[in-house]
Amino acid sequence: MNTRPALSVTQAVRQRISTRGFLDRPIPRADLVDLLETAQRAPSGGNLQPWKTIAVTGAAKDEIIALAARVLSENPMAVIPMERPVYPDFKQVDPVYDQRRRRVGEMMYEKIGIPREDRAGRIAWFAHNYRFFGAPVGLFFIIDTRMGHGQWAHMGMYMQTIALLAEERGWGTCMQECWARLRDELHDHFGLDDHHMIYSGMSLGWPDPDEPANALYAERAPQAEVVEFRGF
Ligand SMILES: Cc1cc2nc3c(=O)[nH]c(=O)nc-3n(C[C@H](O)[C@H](O)[C@H](O)COP(=O)(O)O)c2cc1C
């Protein structure tokens, strides 16, 4: 039962961060069912609702962690060629995007105190991703590969809706495209058909207030860099 005071949408948007450390405290199935039912109200062009979700906890989550450990033990940072890469080719786009990506990475490693030279430490930290940062719940978002770019955007709306609803419940989330690295393995593990693929994962649970990574409040570009007002 959620007894927390109501959270405004503005507060939820402002306080949501990527949570990278969770308490060992379960999320009751009924609460997750309720959240996902509400998230189904996310908009999508033509009301296609082009998302499917697999939620894992307990043994089902442990199986995925074990699968990831098996695959990644070979080479934790191997760059896997992907049909749908997580990032653009940074050489082709405005350098500001790569700068932002690097900046948030540096800010995070600064918070957790792992210097650039400690490559092994950074790799070890990154591997927390594949244990859902200790979260009790992992979500996987699946899209039909025949969908176009519009539907991928709508999937994003659905995911952000989940993240904001989680805030309201006092939970934290971390969206995790890192799972794209295991797309093929997860595809087989979940028994998806040929037309479906894992777009992204998401860790969900109670944030650990003592986790230094959770103190990162990632900066954003100044409004003038991204918004143009005309006719006001
Ligand atoms: C679709 C998507 C995938 C992401 N994948 C990862 C991931 O695999 N691992 C991770 O630690 N953070 C991941 N992030 C979190 C971003 O790094 C984060 O949203 C960004 O740095 C801004 O920080 P904030 O979410 O704390 O505001 C992802 C975010 C999105 C939207």
Q: What is the pLDDT of residues 185-204, one digit of tens each?
A: 999 999 999 999 999 999 99
User: What sign does the CA torsion over 68, 82, 89, 45 have?
Assistant: negative
Rounded to a whole number, what is the largest CA-CA distance in the chain? Answer: 57
For residues 164 and 7, the answer to whether their CB atoms sit within 8 Å is no
Which of 86, 98, 131, 177, when mutated, tests ligand 1's pocket best, judged by the most ligand atoms within 8 Å of its CB?
177
- Whether pLDDT at 132 is above 60: yes
**What would the pLDDT profile of 3-44 be if each residue is shown by its tens digit?**
677 899 999 999 999 999 999 999 999 999 999 999 999 999
Q: Rounded mean pLDDT of the chain? A: 95
* Stated length of the chain: 232
Distance 179 CA to ligand 1 centre (A): 12
* Protein residues with CB under 6 Å of any ligand 1 atom: 17-18, 20, 104, 129, 174-178, 200, 218
If you measure from the C-alpha of residue 176 to the centroid of ligand 1, how many angstroms do you get, rounded to a whole number? 6
pLDDT at 3: 63
Architecture per CATH, domain 9-75+93-218, reads as 3-Layer(aba) Sandwich (3.40)
Mutation choice for ligand 1 from 157, 174, 182, 200, CB with most ligand atoms inside 8 A = 174
Per-residue pLDDT, 76: 66
Q: Which of 175, 181, 186 to mutate to test the pocket of ligand 1 (most atoms within 8 A of CB)?
A: 175
For ligand 1, atom 16, which residue shows the shortest CA distance? 18
Confidence of residue 82 (pLDDT cuts 50, 70, 90): confident
Q: How far is the CA of 231 from the centre of ligand 1 (A)?
A: 34
Q: What are the backbone angles phi and psi of residue 150, rounded to the nearest 5°?
A: -60, -45
First to last CA, the chain: 45
Helix (H) or strand (E) holding 203: strand 196-205
Nearest CA residue ID for atom 5, ligand 1: 176
